[in-house]
Amino acid sequence: MRSRPPSTAPWRLPRRTVRPSTSAAPPTPQASWPPSPGARSRRPDACRVPLDPPAPVATVAPMTRIAFYAPLKPPSHPIPSGDREIARNLMKALALAGFDPFVASEAIAYQKRPSAELFADRRARCEAEVDRLLAVWQAQPAAKPDLWMTYHPYCKAPDWIGPPVCRALAIPYVTVEACRTRQDTDADWADGRAVVQAAVRQAAVNFCLKPADRAYLESFLPDASSIVALKPFIDLADLPDAVDVEGPCAAGEGPLILSVGMMRPGAKIDSYRLLAEALAGLVDRPWRLVIIGDGPGRNEVEAMFGFAGDRARFTGAVPHEQVLGWMKKADLFAWPGMREAFGVAYLEAQAIGLPVAAFATAGVPVVVGHDESGLLAPEFDIVAYRDNLARLLASPQERARLGAGGRAKVARDHGLDAAAATLEGALLPLVGARTGVAVAP
């Protein structure tokens, strides 16, 4: 795996050491990151940093080309989201591991609500995309991928492209975070779920980011040999610089609590309701609260915290660098996390040194270590959650201990280097024989 020099200075990625190969095809140029028109995204640094020239002693095997696809939304999508950020970071981790990832298609398979007509339309468009890609690679054989990776296929966004392309090209198929939704009924999404399950069965490797996804895959796979655990991660070196936030935090005195979450019906509103209920029992203690987020449920959320008066401040939606600015200003991060996949905000808060107060629900325990980087209450146990908040509010020493633990945990387990090592270990055996690449001992 490529090693990352300190992020405080400009750096270049060294070429991964490989043994000479006499049968490998000539190296092909790295593919560009193709943003959608008007998108403000840029190609990740790890995907565009120039490589050091190879030693002039023998022909060096070409880098393994990985076709990357996200059926929910492409990495260049203009609307920020956790899914988009994970997709971008996956491509950076692949590049750091020594591979050559490129976005193979920006076709969107996602549908928000069950609709047989929309399902058929999405499928037809994706099937046409298969024909287009195969025609391109037939005309340009040197540009063919050595492996296909699909991020986050699930019943609302199935992958109709990767599996047939892999069969046609005889290359390995890989998924990351294949999962299922609990929304609506099983019948509503049965067709999409069948597509995803067939793709997962075809996959040589299925990376799972949380235990619930592994359990789902184990429920229909003949065995678990294709499942590989991949811990959620962020690119610590590429976080935007936090900006100083202006204006008063909130009225009153005491530790500053920060919450960040969309204000939409369902799990997010449930989390706000639990936080409000917990803090309502702590009105006799000094604390201030800043809530970052917006959405159709904002009026409902503001009403929930009416008891706090001017001790609570609602900022609305703010740019990412301002979110990080608030994290640096806060004393603790409180977000219940109901049905949270794992939550990128938890990782960012811990990286900055904020202790976390959450529930041990869904994927939260994957990224927050109880009594290591935060305090986790049993799911729906509002008394335990309130007690954890009280414990953090009362003790600067406890907040400092857990904050330091969070920084260490993210750096050790949830950074780009850790993810790159996992990806390299699982993917190299699949592509080494095809490309002639072998890691030097």
318-335 pLDDT per residue, tens: 998 999 999 999 999 999
Domain-located, residue 117: yes
Phi and psi at 287, nearest 5°, equal -165, 160
Domain-located, residue 194: yes
Domain-located, residue 350: yes
Q: How far apart are CA 398 and CA 375, in angstroms?
A: 10
pLDDT for 5: 36
Q: How far apart are CA 33 and CA 76, in angstroms?
A: 8
In this structure, the answer to whether residues 289 and 347 fall within a common structural domain is yes
Domain count, the chain: 2
339: left (phi over 0), alpha (psi -120 to 50) or beta: left
User: Do the Cβ atoms of 206 and 175 come closer than 8 Å?
Assistant: yes
pLDDT for 253: 86
In this structure, the answer to whether residues 108 and 66 fall within a common structural domain is yes
In this structure, the answer to whether residues 211 and 275 fall within a common structural domain is no
Counting Cβ atoms within 10 Å, is residue 431 exposed (0-12), middle (13-18) or buried (19+)?
buried
- CATH classification of the domain holding 195: 3.40.50.2000
Domain-located, residue 424: yes
Domain-located, residue 391: yes
In this structure, the answer to whether residues 102 and 217 fall within a common structural domain is yes
In this structure, the answer to whether residues 264 and 275 fall within a common structural domain is yes
pTM of the model: 0.77
Domain-located, residue 53: yes
Nearest partner of 129 among 103, 156, 104, judged by Cα: 104
Cα 106 to Cα 134, 206, 286: the distances in Å are 15, 21, 50
pLDDT for 433: 56
Domain-located, residue 261: yes
Counting Cβ atoms within 10 Å, is residue 105 exposed (0-12), middle (13-18) or buried (19+)?
buried
In this structure, the answer to whether residues 202 and 268 fall within a common structural domain is no
In this structure, the answer to whether residues 337 and 409 fall within a common structural domain is yes
pLDDT for 89: 94
pLDDT for 327: 95
User: Do the Cβ atoms of 97 and 424 come closer than 8 Å?
Assistant: yes
Parent domain of 408? 256-413
Cα 346 to Cα 57, 80, 213, 339: the distances in Å are 47, 17, 19, 14
How confident is the model over 165-216, as pLDDT tens digits?
Answer: 999 999 999 999 999 876 656 788 999 999 999 999 999 999 999 888 999 9
What is the distance, to the nearest Å, from the Cα of residue 274 to the centroid of all Cα atoms in its chain?
25
In this structure, the answer to whether residues 320 and 203 fall within a common structural domain is no
In this structure, the answer to whether residues 83 and 117 fall within a common structural domain is yes
In this structure, the answer to whether residues 277 and 359 fall within a common structural domain is yes
Q: How far apart are CA 415 and CA 231, in angstroms?
A: 9
pLDDT for 256: 96
Domain-located, residue 246: no
In this structure, the answer to whether residues 356 and 392 fall within a common structural domain is yes
pLDDT for 39: 36
Q: Kindly give the parts of the chain with pLDDT less than 50.
A: 4-61, 439-441
In this structure, the answer to whether residues 323 and 420 fall within a common structural domain is no
